[in-house]
Amino acid sequence: MAETLTATALTLKDIAREAGVSLATVDRVLHNRPGVRPDTVRRVKAAIERNSFQPHVAAAELARGRARRFAFVMPSGPNPFMQQIEGYLGEMSAWLSVRRLNVEMVATDVFDPSVLAASLEALSGDCDGVAVVALDHPSVRAAINDLVDAGTKVVTLVSDVPSSRRHHYVGIDNIAAGRTAGALVGRLAGQKSGKVAIVAGSQGLRDHAERIFGFNQVMASEFPGLSVLPVLEGRDEDDRSEQVLARLLAKHADIVGLYNVGAGTQGVAKALSDAGRDKQVVFVGHDVTVLTRRLLLQGVMDAAISQNPGHEARAAVRVLLALARGEPILREQEKIRIDIVMRDNLP
């Protein structure tokens, strides 16, 4: 009826005694530091394994003295989603400070590969870890790999660079997100048949392209009654998104669904309202912001696919910390889920 989940506490000293060496040697082996005879290494490793010894994090933290430095490299523009992430990092300051963790924000033009790459290079050396909202481009990949080679821990945030050797990606599976959007548009549109519009920032952005891909997958296979119109590009800007959508709405009277892949939500909503069709068209978009929250409550938007920015901020920090300490990562905990947010489960 009662069962205990944790083991007891051995220390470095115990291992040292058991392996017949000194503290320092065990420490060297533990951290793969050079200067130990291969044979000794083996003996020590054996002792560590045998007792499944785990060093006490608090003691290690205390002893190293030096605070750790992490950098967050983020887009410089006024992107509300990114601002939310920064906001949540700010809320963690007390948490960070009692752990002697320093995080520095670096704003940069993430859409210009060379600028981004330069910002990353500049960090080399004085950082233990960096989280970056990255563009998937060869020079960015190279910059990331250089950091990794220099011993810096790197996680990509929100947008991945799978071809690089980054240690971890903190963000959602965008293809699945697109599929989810598709299923929602299809199911909420009910029995109706008709046309479905897609507004994206740019199909050149990896995450947008992946979402559209997933969306189309579901549409084609599960909702044959709905036909998807060619993708509109609004560059994540309100004005432009509004214009292109307004034109499309004027042309097609039988649009029953709308998927807004990126930002520019304000403009999309305006086009819909101005056409007087905000109640008939099923409107699904991304992310919960002050704006989308309002649109959901008003019934203009029907659902938002969301990646919890607070979770992403905290996961990035925790993962960097775990990597720096050499601790295992709780993958399940750090995985970012695709949230479906409707009016009644607004966070």
- Distance of alpha carbon 165 from alpha carbon 146, whole angstroms: 9
Residue nearer to a copy of itself on the CB measure, 61 or 146: 61
Residue nearer to DNA on the CB measure, 127 or 132: 127
- Among residues 12, 308, 321, 323, the one that binds a copy of itself under rule CB under 8 A: 308
- DSSP annotation of 12: H
Instruction: Considering only residues 16 through 75, tell me which ones interact with DNA, judged by CB under 7 A.
Output: 20-25, 27-28, 30-31, 34-37, 39-40, 55-56, 59-60, 62-66
Sign of CA dihedral 76, 318, 173, 297: negative
- Distance of alpha carbon 301 from alpha carbon 298, whole angstroms: 8
> Which does residue 36 bind out of a copy of itself, DNA, none, counting CB within 5 to 8 angstroms by kind?
DNA
Distance of CA 192 to the CA centre of its chain: 35
Instruction: Considering only residues 234 through 273, tell me which ones interact with a copy of itself, judged by CB under 8 A.
Output: none
Tell whether residue 224 is a contact of DNA (CB under 7 A): no
Tell whether residue 2 is a contact of DNA (CB under 7 A): no
Distance of CA 274 to the CA centre of its chain: 35
Binding mask 212-241 for a copy of itself (x = CB under 8 A): --x---x-----------------------
Residue 303: both structure tokens together? 């659902």
DSSP line for 196-255: EEEEES-TTSHHHHHHHHHHHHHHHHH-TTEEEPPPEE-TT-HHHHHHHHHHHHHH-TTE
Give the closest residue to 112 by CA, choosing from 97, 142, 134, 92: 134
Give the closest residue to 347 by CA, choosing from 339, 184, 178, 176: 339
- Among residues 150, 250, 253, 342, the one that binds a copy of itself under rule CB under 8 A: 342
Binding mask 90-119 for a copy of itself (x = CB under 8 A): xxxxxxxxxxxxxxxxxxx-----------
> Which does residue 40 bind out of DNA, a copy of itself, none, counting CB within 5 to 8 angstroms by kind?
DNA
Sign of CA dihedral 39, 40, 43, 48: negative
> Which does residue 108 bind out of a copy of itself, DNA, none, counting CB within 5 to 8 angstroms by kind?
a copy of itself
Residue nearer to a copy of itself on the CB measure, 117 or 341: 341
Tell whether residue 39 is a contact of a copy of itself (CB under 8 A): no
Q: By CB under 7 A, name the binding residues for DNA.
A: 9, 11-13, 20-25, 27-28, 30-31, 34-37, 39-40, 55-56, 59-60, 62-66
